[in-house]
Amino acid sequence: MVASRAIGSLSRFSAFGIPRSRGYICRNFTRSSALLTRTHVNYGVKGDVAVVRLNSPNSKVNTLNKEIQSEFMEVMNEIWANDQIRSAVLISSKPGCFVAGADINMLAACKTSQEATRVSQDGQRIFEKLEKSTKPIVAAISGSCLGGGLELAISCQYRIATKDRKTVLGVPEVLLGILPGAGGTQRLPKMVGIPAAFDMMLTGRNIRADRAKKMGLVDQLVEPLGPGVKPPEERTIEYLEEVAVMFAKGLADKKITPKRDKGLVEKLTSYAMRIPFVRQQVYKTVEEKVRKQTKGLYPAPLKIIDAVKTGIEQGSDAGYLAESQKFGELAMTKESKALMGLYHGQVLCKKNKFGTPQKEVKQLAVLGAGLMGAGIAQVSVDKGLKTLLKDTTVAGLGRGQQQVFKGLNDKVKKKAVTSFERDSIFSNLIGQLDYKDFEKADMVIEAVFEDLSIKHKVLKEVEAVTPDHCVFASNTSALPIKEIAAVSKRPEKVIGMHYFSPVDKMQLLEIITTETTTRDTTASAVALGLKQGKVIIVVKDGPGFYTTRCLAPMMSEVIRILQEGVGPKKLDSLTTGFGFPVGAATLADEVGVDVAQHVAEDLGKAFGERFGGGNVELLKQMVAKGFLGRKSGKGFYIYQEGSKDKNLNSDMDSIFASLKLPAKPEASSDEDIQYRVVTRFVNEAVLCLQEGILATPEEGDIGAVFGLGFPPCLGGPFRFVDLYSAQKIVDRLRKYEAVYGKQFTPCQLLLDHANSPGKKFYQ
């Protein structure tokens, strides 16, 4: 998840607006005079240590916005002016959050890159003052410390963090298409070394407290406490504060030095980094890697490297200047707008707009221990949900149980859970071959074979044993839920829950409601999905729902392109070059050629000519030859166990040859091929909104990006239309329509947008 509103910056503050006459604060004075007027920041004095508390009102998290920063500087100036205070502790009053980042809206308000640069420079100035403070400042970190929050922390003289799972440190700006603009690119390399700093800034990854301690990002850890005479969270923050005050005193008395002992490896690395030649090599390697991975589609990582490089090679003044300028440039890019849009969409799709269900799901049952069923079971038991996993054979069930165990065990290897926790999580899973205990199930998710008659059979069996309130959810990628519900005694309790494979990695869950599905049933399904950690879109029933329906015309075009003689490798490189994380031919192999054939035929029947283009015969022949994709070892490519290299499947040549179509030169340039694939996708997505399958464009974008790998740098089909203009897309479609016909006819809503340029999906 893009972790937070994180722009690492503060803006204007009046540094000299406070008279220096506040020196009257005496020992044991616990409240500052200005307390009542401040709402975001207050401070008290413990002995000679000022404890500054951050607390954004009416919010679960602290974000660095204008109010907090101006109050913070007011407070800091009082502290610096007060002779009785010798050191300070900076802490959040919110359990689970130190500072989640800068307020993203501050950046959204900027109209030009100059304005954004100023936002960055203001932040830089504040943090410079902190860094140069003669009174030591200890950042006491509990909960998320991200983006601007981390930049704030690393400007302090000392950092103490709570060692719990909620405490994570990181600079996720790159995920929003920007860079850490309040000194992050300059201070981080000095603090953790150049390689580690690049890793943090280029991946945006969250770092847990214990790891942060090893890296030198924090100086001390505080263990979370259990219950005492207060709730654990409350007392833990208090304890963190007590320890931080102790260290602040020690720093002021020079009994503790902020320097830490480096390990041998660290010493060697930092020594090597002093050699200019080595540094140049590091920049070069990182740049190459970034270029290869981003294919030039994401500007932020390269600018981050630039800013770091400038600071190290040309001194900090140049470095800070480069940082703020590049920050300004990045803030104005389409990519950052697209990525921030995705962030907002994701926040939206993590909420249950259907309200709290009447009955919380406490006992879940999953039918079918295949790849999907076991995956669904894994993400459920993981969150402490008791889950029955039913299959028809011992072998099938055993395979599914092993999949869940392996998934959990991989987490042990990554040290995300202990082996003991793994075992107790795994105990939530009960494998069985019969319907025992289904009378206690609050929800049943079926993940049996995609065949309507089998789905009907299990639906009847399940309804015979489950209680009346039990929700029946079908995990299907294309079968209309209405048809599945047709044989139900309780159609109001039937819903679609379309998970994506692999379930434990893919964040999206598409929930499909029919006309008879009640709101409470939907609320229940959304609540469960959220518990499983999913990003959720809720769509109306229809052939292919939303995601599969968008994918189908795109895949149809892909087949046509292959028939026209473009090789799978070339096609893959064109699609990934456009920003798709997985190439189109590879995607077909991953999804499974048989599944693709199924979908293509079903939706082809439902939607007719619009879904034409490529010949389904190609898929049929592949299936006939056993080329089902990765799962059978052969598809467009040949897959070998343990080998990551994949070679083209030369047996495909005869199939391609038999179905060859003449390429149309007027629509076969590389760019044309990319746009033929993308515009069909976009057109179908907009049609889904037009037809009411989708409720909002946000859900359309989230579904496309998180479920189908639509290029994140474009922000999803709707954001893409907004940012690149509907007119241009309509022009493209018209061009291809002229060559290929109806499949490219733009839908009415898209035409409406093209005709009135002011009309946007996102206002």
Our finding on whether 259 is near another protein (CB under 8 A) is: no
Q: Six-digit token pair at 331?
A: 């803030």
Residue from 172, 179, 253 nearest 206 by CA: 172
**Closest separation between CB of residue 255 and another protein, Å?**
11
**Closest separation between CB of residue 412 and another protein, Å?**
12
Whether the Cβ atoms of residue 21 and residue 134 lie closer than 8 Å to each other? no
The mark string for 161-190 relative to another protein (x by CB under 8 A, - otherwise) is ------------------------------
Our finding on whether 247 is near another protein (CB under 8 A) is: yes
SS3 at position 393: coil
Our finding on whether 223 is near another protein (CB under 8 A) is: yes
Q: How many residues bind another protein (CB under 8 A)?
A: 19
Our finding on whether 226 is near another protein (CB under 8 A) is: yes
Produce one character per residue of 171-193: b if its CB has 16 or more CB atoms within 10 Å, e if not.
bbbbbbbbbbbbbbbbbbbeebb
User: How many beta carbons lie within 10 A of that of residue 487, not counting itself?
Assistant: 16
- Between 225 and 441, name the residue whose CB sits nearer to another protein: 225
**Closest separation between CB of residue 247 and another protein, Å?**
8
Produce one character per residue of 330-349: b if its CB has 16 or more CB atoms within 10 Å, e if not.
bbbbbbbbbbbbbbbbbebb
Question: Which region among 220-228, 346-354, 449-457, 583-591 touches another protein (by CB under 8 A)?
Answer: 220-228
Select from 246, 582, 616, 648 the one that contacts another protein (CB under 8 A): 246
Select from 9, 62, 155, 220 the one that contacts another protein (CB under 8 A): 220
Question: CA–CA separation, 379 vs 377, rounded Å?
Answer: 6
Which residues neighbour 360 within 8 Å (Cβ) at sequence distance 6 or greater? 442, 527
Which helix (DSSP H) or strand (DSSP E) does residue 42 occupy?
strand 41-46
Question: Which region among 232-240, 287-295, 381-389, 406-414 touches another protein (by CB under 8 A)?
Answer: 232-240
Select from 46, 66, 235, 279 the one that contacts another protein (CB under 8 A): 235
Q: How far is CA 240 from the centre of its chain?
A: 30
Contacts (CB under 8 A) with another protein, residues 60-89? none
Contacts (CB under 8 A) with another protein, residues 321-360? none
Q: Six-digit token pair at 462?
A: 């399940």
Q: Which letter does DSSP use for residue 611 in this model?
A: G
Q: How far is CA 300 from the centre of its chain?
A: 17
Question: CA–CA separation, 257 vs 757, rounded Å?
Answer: 61
Our finding on whether 231 is near another protein (CB under 8 A) is: yes
Contacts (CB under 8 A) with another protein, residues 698-727? none
- Between 260 and 505, name the residue whose CB sits nearer to another protein: 260
Q: Supply angle C-alpha 57, 59, 64, rounded to 5.
A: 75
Select from 75, 141, 154, 243 the one that contacts another protein (CB under 8 A): 243
How many residues make up the chain in this entry?
A: 763
Question: CA–CA separation, 426 vs 403, rounded Å?
Answer: 11
The mark string for 407-436 relative to another protein (x by CB under 8 A, - otherwise) is -----------x-x----------------
**Closest separation between CB of residue 219 and another protein, Å?**
11
Question: Which region among 243-251, 474-482, 525-533, 683-691 touches another protein (by CB under 8 A)?
Answer: 243-251
Among all chains, which residue has been given the structure tokens 């922000």?
715
Question: Which region among 56-64, 227-235, 503-511, 568-576 touches another protein (by CB under 8 A)?
Answer: 227-235
**Closest separation between CB of residue 257 and another protein, Å?**
13
Which residues neighbour 478 within 8 Å (Cβ) at sequence distance 6 or greater? 450, 543, 544, 545, 548, 598, 599, 602, 603
62 burial (CB, 10 Å; 0-12 / 13-18 / 19+) is buried
Our finding on whether 692 is near another protein (CB under 8 A) is: no
Q: Six-digit token pair at 391?
A: 């299959």
- Between 117 and 220, name the residue whose CB sits nearer to another protein: 220
Whether 439 is catalytic: no
Which position among 71, 173, 323, 510 bears the catalytic label?
Answer: 510
**Closest separation between CB of residue 143 and another protein, Å?**
18
Our finding on whether 230 is near another protein (CB under 8 A) is: yes
- Between 96 and 396, name the residue whose CB sits nearer to another protein: 96
- Between 263 and 315, name the residue whose CB sits nearer to another protein: 263
Our finding on whether 443 is near another protein (CB under 8 A) is: no
Angle between helices 568-578 and 584-591 (to 10 degrees): 100
Question: Which region among 107-115, 229-237, 513-521, 591-599 touches another protein (by CB under 8 A)?
Answer: 229-237
Whether the Cβ atoms of residue 99 and residue 149 lie closer than 8 Å to each other? yes
Our finding on whether 37 is near another protein (CB under 8 A) is: no
8 burial (CB, 10 Å; 0-12 / 13-18 / 19+) is buried
**Closest separation between CB of residue 223 and another protein, Å?**
5
Dump the DSSP string for 440-480.
G-SEEEE---S-HHHHHHHHHHHHHHS-TT-EEEE--SSS-
**Closest separation between CB of residue 421 and another protein, Å?**
9
Q: Which letter does DSSP use for residue 543 in this model?
A: T
Our finding on whether 232 is near another protein (CB under 8 A) is: yes
**Closest separation between CB of residue 163 and another protein, Å?**
11
Q: Six-digit token pair at 119?
A: 């936002």
- Between 49 and 729, name the residue whose CB sits nearer to another protein: 49
Select from 239, 320, 607, 627 the one that contacts another protein (CB under 8 A): 239
Catalytic residues: 510
- Binding residues for another protein, per CB under 8 A? 220, 223-232, 235, 238-239, 243, 246-247, 418, 420
